[in-house]
Amino acid sequence: MTFTEGIGLRRIDHVGIAVPDLDAALVWYEGALGGTAVHREVNEAQGVVEVMVAWPEGGAQVQLLAPLGEDSPIARFLGKQGPGLQQLAFTVADVEAAAAALRERGARLLYDEARRGTAGSKINFVHPRDAGGVLVELVEPA
């Protein structure tokens, strides 16, 4: 059995970057790096306002995440770590099946059941302690 067997990993979906000022970060990713904002939304349940940035050749996107309030997980992350890489997200065929397969391998997931993510996707996270210190997000697109 290979590691990805039963997990249904398809590709790197996006890299999440925690930022204190979403508009300033977007100026950098669009202006200096040539990206284009392709989706913006407020996710009250996650306590963030986010923008997905893409590039003309496709591939993984960058998700800029700014806190909605001082008590959001992103605000806590920024307070402890400062701005920067917050998560690595993978597209999966079925987030619940992927979570179950990872649990069978001893990984802890942050949620018992998938939650709503960007643009109606279903998401869950692998605890950083079980993923080499990286918060790994599993994304099943809508």
Sequence-ordered strand ranges (E) for the chain: 9-18, 36-43, 48-54, 61-67, 84-92, 115-116, 122-126, 136-140
* Residue appearing with tokens 């802890």: 108
Q: Is residue 25 a part of any domain in this protein?
A: yes
> What's the pTM?
0.90
pLDDT at position 6 is 75
What's the CATH code of the domain at 69?
3.10.180.10
Q: What are 32's two structure tokens?
A: 């200096």
What pLDDT is attached to residue 38?
97
Q: Per the structure, how many domains does the chain have?
A: 1
Whether residue 45 is contained in a domain is answered as yes
Decide if 3 is inside a domain: no
Other Cβ atoms closer than 10 A to 56 = 8
Residue 2 falls inside a structural domain: no
How does pLDDT run across 65-85, given as a tens digit for each residue? 999 999 999 999 999 999 999
Domain assignment present for residue 39? The answer is: yes
CA angle 141, 45, 68 (to 5 degrees): 110
Grade residue 62 by pLDDT with cuts at 50, 70 and 90. Answer: very high
Tell me whether residue 1 is in a domain. Answer: no
Tens digits of residue pLDDT in 29-49: 999 999 999 999 999 988 999
**Residue 67: domain span:** 9-140
pLDDT of 1 above 70: no
Residue 114: is its pLDDT beyond 80? yes
User: Are the CB atoms for 92 and 8 separated by under 8 Å?
Assistant: yes
Q: What is the mean pLDDT of residues 102-109?
A: 96
Report yes or no on 79 lying in a domain: yes
Q: What is the pLDDT of residue 132?
A: 92
4 in any annotated domain: no
